[in-house]
Amino acid sequence: MKKLMKGNEALAAAAIYSGVKCFFGYPITPQTEIAAYMAKHLPKAGGVFLQAESEISAINMVYGAAGAGFRAMTSSSSPGISLKQEGISYIAGADLPCVIVNVMRAGPGLGGIQASQSDYFQAVKGGGHGDYRLLVFAPASVQEMADMTVTAFNLSDKWRIPAMILSDGVTGQMMELVDMDDLPEICRYDKPWAANGKGGRKKHNIINTLYLEPEELEAVDMEREKKYERAKAELQDWEEYMTDDAEIIVTAYGISARIARAAVNAARSEGIRAGLIRPKMLWPFPEDAYKRDVKAYLCVEMSRGQMVEDVRLAAGGARVEFYGRCGGMLVDETEILNRIKEIHDEGNI
Amino acid sequence: MKVIYEKPKSISDKTFHYCPGCGHGIAHRLVGEVMDELGIEDKTVAVVPVGCAVMAYDYFECDVMEAAHGRAPAVATGVKRCLPDKVVFSYQGDGDLAAIGTAETIHAAARGEGITVIFINNTIYGMTGGQMAPTTLPGQVTQTSPFGRDPYTQGWPLKMCEMLSTMTGPAYIERCATDTPAHIRAAKKAVKKAFTYQIERGAYSFVELLCACPTNWGMTPGEARDRVGSEMIPYYPLGIFRDICDIKEGK
Ligand SMILES: Cc1ncc(C[n+]2csc(CCOP(=O)(O)OP(=O)(O)O)c2C)c(N)n1
Ligand code: SF4
């Protein structure tokens, strides 16, 4: 049955459905509903909710819980996610699965509390130190907040790569109908590597990121890189809308994609063959979506242009334009439409 | 032939990388003996620090997690909350526990997390080559206090047992030393009591061990051992700072 839920709450409910054992949080707008929901509902489901003393502690608690073999999660918003970067790097370095939620607000610094997409670089390119990647999901609806959370737990366990749900203040706060009875299936994986007390095991398990011999660390890094390459081949995920005959393809993720879709409809009604590519995962980036014959891409983001760099790389030599708003301002349907028209009217189409 | 003294089973055969006269070796042994005596090696998860004990995962035979610098109490919290029936301890130096990890230390204690914290106070950052620690004594010369620690510009040493004993969360807090056989025996009793509090009461316990770092103090092992007694103990008095369960030793 469908019910009306906030994005943040749907995400939290889906995490409980996924069997999350622990949630470690710290208050920050606009993600606090996740912690509030967990505080109320996770203990009833046999899990642990703990408000940590900082985001640094919260992510390190995740390291401990994930290292012990349990599904663990933390959520925050941009400034708090910056604090988590140390822990995220360690989690990635120890090949631990977990889910980290960033309900993005505007930065840099304290920035503002309105929605933004300016943490794309941080999520997709690293954020913390070292060669590592996260599986990054980009929900564009309350339903996807729920669905992608289940998938994030599944894939993170399967690949032993930490997952991030890269949402934003609008998607987190808005209410929509969501079907919580039709979530993706839960997949369980054995975790023989977990440090959970030896029990009958002969050898002790060690969760570690230290390799003092450069040869050894290089080998570990290269092995992980192979896994990343496999993930790139297998996990790219995107949605297309009216792209079959499109000359101008708008590309956007999350809340921007919903607004861009309306602009694409408006362009179509004016006779312009516009379409939309919406990445559902940002890492691995859906490079394959941009291997096509098209006159121009228009990348739309709530930032000063971050994903656009990956679109340019994926699009080869194709023309890539950018339109963005920042500071907590939403992208505007009319402004997107005007950019589509400008590109269209430039005569080379 | 009767064996009267041997390596604890909970300690591996790997050769310690610690310097001669280093307190870490003694502290490891005490924890290992206690794990053996309580028969808990199979159900223990150790969380080890960034510091000279960073490679303790090679020495403890139980499961081990290597934490980021200062974060061991948070990592231990994550483990213990998932595995309340297992024994979880953190093992941390003074820079790790009382500088970069102060918040994690205090809040794990405030929550009365069911973990045991073994705190190695050697008044210096050992691993990075002898810089000033939060526990460096007034006047003590280190790489980053070359004229001696001036408390008026570089701060006063933190007395962690005293600080934590003002809190309601911890059940047992004791400071011991590793400089004489009598002190080491007392330290062993304290470590055992700390683990027992965790196992029997699910309580938070904290044992500070005053240890020597001959290398970075620029002393021979003998001189360093003597300094523990002559300079450290007067500033960091030994004793029980908090004990709310009063479990008798050996139970
Ligand atoms: C975030 C971070 N900052 C600094 C360091 C460098 N570092 C490694 S060990 C250490 C100090 C360790 O001193 P202490 O905790 O007193 O332990 P000891 O070596 O004396 O046993 C520092 C600062 C690090 N590894 N990570
Ligand atoms: S530097 Fe100091 S603390 Fe480190 S192993 Fe040597 S004596 Fe021990």
Q: What is the pTM of this model?
A: 0.97
Packing angle of the helix pair B181-201, B23-38 (nearest 10 deg):
40
The 3-state DSSP composition of chain B as helix, strand, coil percent (nearest 5) reads 40, 20, 40
Say if the Cβ atoms of B64 and A86 lie within 8 Å.
no
State residue B251's pLDDT score.
43
State residue B248's pLDDT score.
63
Among A64, A86, A210, select the one facing B79 at the smallest CB separation: A64
B43 three-state secondary structure: helix
Contacts of A207 in chain B (CB under 8 A): 64-66
How far apart (Å, rounded) are the C-alpha atoms in residues B65 and A140? 37
Please identify, among A187, A204, A234, the residue that sits at the C-terminal boundary of a domain: A234
SS3 per residue for B74-99:
HHHHHHHHHCCCCEEEEEEEHHHHHH
What's the pLDDT tens digit per position in B23-60?
Answer: 999 999 999 999 999 999 999 999 999 999 999 999 99
What's the pLDDT tens digit per position in B151-165?
Answer: 999 999 999 999 999
Residues A208 and A94 both lie in one domain: yes
* Domain residue limits at A150: 2-234
Residue A161 and residue A133 in contact, taking contact as beta carbons nearer than 8 Å = yes
Please identify, among A182, A207, A234, the residue that sits at the C-terminal boundary of a domain: A234
Is the peptide bond between A108 and the residue preceding it cis, with omega within 30 degrees of 0?
Answer: yes
Closest A-chain CA to B10: A204
DSSP assignment of A139-179 equals: --SHHHHHHHHHHHHHHHHHHT--EEEEEEHHHHH-EEEEE
Proximal ligand: closest to the CA of B124: 1
Say if the Cβ atoms of B42 and A199 lie within 8 Å.
yes
Residues A295 and A341 both lie in one domain: yes
Residue B89 and residue B76 in contact, taking contact as beta carbons nearer than 8 Å = yes
How far apart (Å, rounded) are the C-alpha atoms in residues B42 and A202? 9
How many contacts, defined by CB atoms under 8 Å, are there between A and B?
Answer: 132
B233 three-state secondary structure: helix
How far apart (Å, rounded) are the C-alpha atoms in residues A256 and A192? 41
Residue A76 and residue A26 in contact, taking contact as beta carbons nearer than 8 Å = yes
Indicate the residue type of A302.
M
> Domain coordinates of chain B in residue numbers?
24-248
What's the pLDDT tens digit per position in A170-185?
Answer: 999 999 999 999 999 9
Residues A197 and A336 both lie in one domain: no
Residues A188 and A323 both lie in one domain: no
Residue B32 and residue B8 in contact, taking contact as beta carbons nearer than 8 Å = yes
DSSP assignment of B160-203 equals: HHHHHTTSSS-SEEEEEESSSHHHHHHHHHHHHHHHHHHHHH--
What's the pLDDT tens digit per position in A247-259?
Answer: 999 999 999 999 9
Report CA dihedral (A109, A130, A211, B83) to the nearest 10 degrees.
60
Residues A132 and A276 both lie in one domain: no
Residues A102 and A59 both lie in one domain: yes
B233: nearest Cα among B171, B165, B175, B164 = B175
Residues A90 and A162 both lie in one domain: yes
Q: Which residues line ligand 1 (CB under 6 A)?
A: B 50-53, 69, 93-96, 120, 122, 124-128, 133
Residue B35 and residue B62 in contact, taking contact as beta carbons nearer than 8 Å = yes
In the predicted structure, residue A349 carries a pLDDT above the cut 90: no
Q: Output phi, psi for A36, to 5 deg.
A: -65, -40
- Distance between alpha carbon A188 and the CA centroid of its chain, in Å? 21
Chain A: closest CA distance from residue B194 (Å): 19
What is the domain count for chain A?
A: 2
Place of tokens 């503002």: A112
What's the pLDDT tens digit per position in A64-113?
Answer: 999 999 999 999 999 999 999 999 999 999 999 999 999 999 999 999 99
Contacts of A70 in chain B (CB under 8 A): 82
Contacts of A68 in chain B (CB under 8 A): 45, 78-79, 82-83
Indicate the residue type of B65.
M
B184: nearest Cα among B19, B27, B53 = B27
Place of tokens 């631990």: A96
Residue A175 and residue A4 in contact, taking contact as beta carbons nearer than 8 Å = yes
State residue A347's pLDDT score.
61
Q: Is the dihedral of CA B22, B24, B25, B26 positive or negative?
A: positive
Range in A212-221, B2-11, B148-157 with the lowest mean pLDDT = B2-11
A300: nearest Cα among A344, A268, A271, A332 = A332
Residue B72 and residue B47 in contact, taking contact as beta carbons nearer than 8 Å = yes
Packing angle of the helix pair A214-235, A142-159 (nearest 10 deg):
140
Q: Output phi, psi for A133, to 5 deg.
A: -135, 160
Ligand 1 atom 3: residue of nearest CA: B69
State residue B1's pLDDT score.
83
Report CA dihedral (B122, B124, B125, B131) to the nearest 10 degrees.
-170
In the predicted structure, residue A12 carries a pLDDT above the cut 70: yes
Identify which of B58, B178, B213 to mutate to test ligand 2's pocket (most ligand atoms within 8 A of the CB).
Answer: B213
Question: Which residues of A touch chain B, with CB atoms under 8 Å apart?
Answer: 21-22, 24, 48, 50, 52-54, 56-58, 60-70, 72, 86-87, 90, 195-200, 204-210
What's the pLDDT tens digit per position in A140-155?
Answer: 999 999 999 999 999 9
Distances (CA, A) of B136 to A118, A126, B26: 43, 37, 21
First-residue to last-residue Cα distance in chain A: 47
- Could you tell me the two tokens for B78? 């994550």
Place of tokens 């006159």: A295
Among A57, A66, A195, select the one facing B74 at the smallest CB separation: A57
State residue A348's pLDDT score.
54
Please identify, among A234, A258, A275, the residue that sits at the C-terminal boundary of a domain: A234
Element (H, E) at A282: strand A281-283
Among A54, A87, A205, select the one facing B63 at the smallest CB separation: A205
Contacts of A73 in chain B (CB under 8 A): none
State residue B250's pLDDT score.
45
- Could you tell me the two tokens for B71? 């974060």
Q: Looking at ligand 2, which atom is closest to the CA of residue B25?
A: 8
- Give the CATH class of B24-248: alpha beta
B70: nearest Cα among B16, B27, B117, B29 = B117
Residues A123 and A261 both lie in one domain: no
Residues A8 and A117 both lie in one domain: yes
Q: Are strands A72-76 and A248-251 parallel, antiparallel or unpaired?
A: unpaired
- Which residues are CB-neighbours of A94 under 8 A, at least 6 positions away? A63, A67, A207, A208, A209
If you average pLDDT over residues A272-294, what whole number do you get? 97
Residues A326 and A229 both lie in one domain: no
What's the pLDDT tens digit per position in B179-196?
Answer: 999 999 999 999 999 999
- Could you tell me the two tokens for A120? 């794309």
Element (H, E) at B135: none
The 3-state DSSP composition of chain A as helix, strand, coil percent (nearest 5) reads 40, 20, 40
Distances (CA, A) of A258 to A177, A250, B11: 16, 11, 59
Residues A8 and A114 both lie in one domain: yes
How far apart (Å, rounded) are the C-alpha atoms in residues B212 and B224? 6
First-residue to last-residue Cα distance in chain B: 30
Residues A95 and A177 both lie in one domain: yes
Say if the Cβ atoms of A57 and B54 lie within 8 Å.
no
In the predicted structure, residue B247 carries a pLDDT above the cut 90: no
Chain B: closest CA distance from residue A68 (Å): 6
Packing angle of the helix pair B72-82, B102-110 (nearest 10 deg):
30
